[in-house]
Amino acid sequence: MSTLIQPAPMGAPASAAPPPGDAFLRFENVSKVYPTATGPYTVLDAIDMAVNQGEFMCVIGHSGCGKSTLLNMVSGFATPTEGQVILHGNRITKPGPDRMVVFQGYALLPWFTAYENVYLAVDSVKPDLPEREKKEITREHLAMVGLTEAAEKKILQLSGGMKQRVAIARALAIRPEVLILDEPFGALDAITKEELQEELLTIWNTQKCTVLMITHDIDEALFLADRLVMMTNGPAAKIGEIMDISFPRPRNREEIMEDPLYYDLRNQALDFLYSRFAHDDTAD
């Protein structure tokens, strides 16, 4: 399996990467430096990456390496210190509904019901739509995540899995071009997690938005993603490697796990995370 490891740090397979000049979403020489008490702290250093429209990208890397920071520059909650992030040829400067986020802590409004949370998003983004249509969109997206029954429940009455479903329904109901998920299933039990992964894939198959998702789970990435971005350790993290995950879609968990490629890819990722960029190492 060691033969699969790409020697070059920027070893993204050329076949999958779009020509950088006109990619749908691209990071151009993006660095992020935070000023701290002990002087400037470089989180990300000169990131270059291109993402195709409709692609499902997963990002993996050790805690604190800058995954959230990377995606925050797409959602617009953080701005690059150097370089720029370009979507559709336009530089990203602030948050907007075309880049919807599924937040790490769900960020649902507890004084509203599941239905009201989704409706509020639809109504905020598309206020001019006829009332009937906004209600229809809300119901439709709650149904997609299997929450028709629980729609009228207050957020506090929902389980963690149900909350995450509402958050996903809310994010997709406004039809974003890019969907950003920051470790969405980390806090869920194994069964709920697999259910939600499948639901997410099903919905993504119908909407074909571009997905950027942070995960700590290699199997999750292998099941969901077209490509897996593996980041080196911070400070000054870089993209170590981008792995192509070419299983045909629609995917079936059992089938891909029988594919010998699955284990090659899995070992490649494990080797990256636990040998070449093991957590204790300071990247150099």
Partner 1 sequence: MVPTSSRRPGASISPLRWLTRSSGSWLPPLLGTGGFLLLWQILSSAGVIALPAPSSLFTEERTRTLIFYPFYDRGGLDKGLFWQTMASLSRVAQGYTLAALVGIAVGITIGLKPTINRAFDPLFQFLRMVAPLAWVPIALVLFQNNQPAAIFVIFITAIWPILINTAEGVRQIPQDYRNVALVLQMSSRRFFTKVLIPSALPYIFTGLRISIGLAWLAIIAAEIVMPGTLGIGFFIWDAYQQNYVGEIVLGVIWIGAIGLVLDRLMAWLQTRISPGQ
Ligand X SMILES: Nc1ncnc2c1ncn2[C@@H]1O[C@H](COP(=O)(O)OP(=O)(O)OP(=O)(O)O)[C@@H](O)[C@H]1O
**Which residues of the shown chain bind partner 1 in the complex (CB under 8 A)?**
75-77, 94-97, 99-101, 103, 105-107, 109-112, 120-121, 124-125, 156, 174
Chosen from Mg ion, partner 1, ligand X, none, partner binding at 34 (C-beta under 5 to 8 Å by type): ligand X
Q: Is 64 in the site for ligand X (CB under 6 A)?
A: yes
Question: Do 1 and 268 contact (CB within 8 A), yes or no?
Answer: yes
d(CA 100, CA 21): 24
Chosen from Mg ion, ligand X, partner 1, none, partner binding at 80 (C-beta under 5 to 8 Å by type): none
x/- letters, 40..59, toward ligand X (CB under 6 A) = -x-x----------------
| CB closer to partner 1 out of 169 and 265 | 169
Chosen from partner 1, Mg ion, ligand X, none, partner binding at 69 (C-beta under 5 to 8 Å by type): ligand X
A 10 A CB-CB count for 60 gives 24
Q: Among 69, 117, 164, 233, indicate the residue that binds ligand X (CB under 6 A).
A: 69
Question: Do 241 and 9 contact (CB within 8 A), yes or no?
Answer: yes
A 10 A CB-CB count for 152 gives 11
Question: Minimum CB separation from partner 1 for residue 217, in Å?
Answer: 23
x/- letters, 214..253, toward ligand X (CB under 6 A) = --------------------x-------------------
| CB closer to partner 1 out of 98 and 244 | 98
| CB closer to partner 1 out of 101 and 172 | 101
Closest CA to 26 of 69, 68, 74, 61: 74
d(CA 140, CA 71): 28
Question: Do 57 and 16 contact (CB within 8 A), yes or no?
Answer: no
Question: Minimum CB separation from ligand X for residue 69, in Å?
Answer: 3
Q: Give the range of 8-16, 67-75, 80-88, 238-246 binding ligand X by CB under 6 A.
A: 67-75
List residues near ligand X by CB under 6 A: 34, 36, 41, 43, 61, 63-69, 234
